Amino acid sequence: MYASAINTNNQLEIYNATNEEYMPIVLTLTHVNNVDTRRTSTKTFDDADEMMTFIKSKQVTADNSYNVYFQTRAYEIINDHYIKLYYETIVSNA
C-alpha cells in the first residue's frame, strides 16, 4: 500500500504505507512544469498504488533486458485526483 503527498518544493512523494509508524519515501517526482517532457510517454492513474504497480512492472522488464532503460520523469495532478506520470523507456541498440 502506498500514500502520496505534495511537498513544499511542489514534488510528489510516494510513501510505502504498509507500516503507519514508519513510512519511507520510495519515489519523488518533479512537477511537469519543471521538466522537458517532449520525448516522454504518459499514463494516468487513479492512485499511488496503481502507479507503483505500473512502475515496478516496467522496471522488471528493463532489469531483464540489457538494452532497455526505464526512467520516471515527472508528474501532474489531473482534476485534483488523478496522477499523470511522465516516463521514458529507452531502447539502446549498442
Note whether 23 and 15 are within 8 A (CB). yes
Q: Please give the pLDDT value at position 77.
A: 95
pLDDT tier at 94 (50, 70, 90 boundaries)? low
How does pLDDT run across 21-65, given as a tens digit for each residue?
Answer: 888 999 999 999 998 888 899 999 999 999 999 999 999 999 998
Q: Which pTM was predicted? A: 0.88
Q: Please give the pLDDT value at position 93.
A: 79
What's 53's DSSP letter? H
Q: Please give the pLDDT value at position 33.
A: 93
- What's the CA gap between 54 and 75, in Å, rounded? 14
Q: How many CB atoms lie within 10 A of CB 12?
A: 21
> Which stretch of DSSP H or E encloses residue 48?
helix 48-63
- What's the CA gap between 1 and 50, in Å, rounded? 10
